Structure 1
Amino acid sequence: MAMKMQVLLLLVSWFVQGQSVPGSVEGYPEKFPPARPTAKNIGNICKGGGKKLSHYQDLKDSDLLDVYSTQDVLVEVGSALDMCCKQKEQLPCAEKAWSIVLNKMCTKQGAVKMVQHECCGKSGAARENCFDKKSPFPNYDFEN
């Protein structure tokens, strides 16, 4: 329970800061959706895989700042995973952070009545399994 609250507080602090990135930039969603953190990939995540997701923060602002995009998700998941790698219990923290951010995306996209990712049409474990199965880099072993 303490780990869940710690991750939630960490994510809330990022959300309050209002970090935003463009909603649609050609070539950037190639790492979306990020894979579910597991015992098999947490080593790669903590060796820099999470940081390679959060480099999207460097993108310039655009007119689509109010849209919670795949780039927003990559930045938030990357930042959260980086923070989780500094925790004693890396995997539980990373799993919870991943779930919170992807569910936040579905909620925000649904609230503005925009076209949602197909996995957002599912709920609970089915939603998470859908995102995980669609990840192009399940091991966080991308080169860029």
Structure 2
Amino acid sequence: MMCYPPTPPFSIFMCPHPFLPNFQACHAHSLHPLVYNKSRSLSLRKHQFVGENAAMISMGCLTGFWIIALLTLHGSDVGESKGNSLNEPDIPFPPARPTPQNLAAICHQGQGRPRYPASFFSRSGGSRYRRLGNTINRLESWYRSCCSEQESQILCCTTQAWKETLSQFCVEEYSTKTLAYECCEGRGDARWICFNSELPNPDYNPTLGYTAPAVPPQPEFTFNASAC
């Protein structure tokens, strides 16, 4: 749809130029009153018709402009969200603290939860995500070790493994020049409460159809049974 400015009404009768003689006579006296009034009425109606159409066209153009603007903004948002989903690996973090309710899943469904080998990450950047992935790999390895302990000590062992893993994660966070993970700023119970909040997988549920790949061996975890 093309948008044009409104045009003035068309003249029905041709008269001399305003600066030529008899111009007023042409408009005031030469035309019969009935003809003059009729032509004036037609001119006014035509002017009103043109004005209304110009207004409708202007409104249509304005509406079309806003529709295009909104679609453009929506497209930019979609494009931005796709970029984030491609650039930021999906790593469920932080891991939940072991409890009597999720302990069975920790020990029996570990192979159905994600692992993060080096091939999972892009070569450029993403050091924070590598630390997150390595932390999960270490914790799952230590959970497997704890689940071989006596049943009465499994919960204590997995809890120690959880705290030690996250403590090492915080040490790694502070060894970089970037801002450390917010929960690492806490001390004592405040740190563990922070890590155990806003959990992506509090029940340690497995991913349907997923089998964990092999990852490099992790340092052995030393369980302190006397601290239970």
- TM-score for the superposition, normalised by structure 1: 0.70
C-alpha distance in 2 between matches for 1:93 and 1:83: 9
2:173 corresponds to 1:112? no
Shift of residue 66 of structure 1? 7.3
Could you tell me how far 1:41 is from its partner in structure 2?
0.6
Contact 1:28 1:71 in 2 (8 A): no
Q: C-alpha distance in 1, partners of 2:111/2:155? A: 13
Q: Work out whether residues 40 and 139 of structure 1, in 8 Å CA contact, stay in contact via their aligned partners in 2.
A: yes
TM-score normalized by the length of structure 2: 0.46
Unaligned 5+ residue runs, structure 1? Answer: 1-24
Does 1 or 2 have the higher relative contact order (CA < 8 Å, sep 6+)? 1
**Residues 1:102 and 2:163 are matched in the alignment:** no
Per-residue deviation, 1:114: 2.0
How many residues are matched?
Answer: 118
Of 120, 139, 142, 2:203 maps to 139
Question: 1:57-68 maps to which residues of 2 (within 5 A)?
Answer: 57=117, 59-60=119-120, 62=123
Q: How does 1:80-99 map to 2 (within 5 A)?
A: 80-88=142-150, 89-99=153-163
Contact (CA 8 Å) 2:95, 2:136: kept in 1 or not? yes
Residues of 2 paired with 1:37 and 1:57: CA distance?
24
SS at match of 1:80: helix
User: Which residue of 19, 41, 60 corresponds with 2:102?
Assistant: 41
Identity among equivalent positions (%) equals 29
Shift of 1:115: 1.8
Q: Report the 3-state secondary structure (helix = DSSP H, G, I; strand = E; otherwise coil) of the residue aligned with 1:87.
A: coil
Aligned Cα root-mean-square deviation (Å) = 2.4
Q: Distance in 1 between matches of 2:118 and 2:107?
A: 21
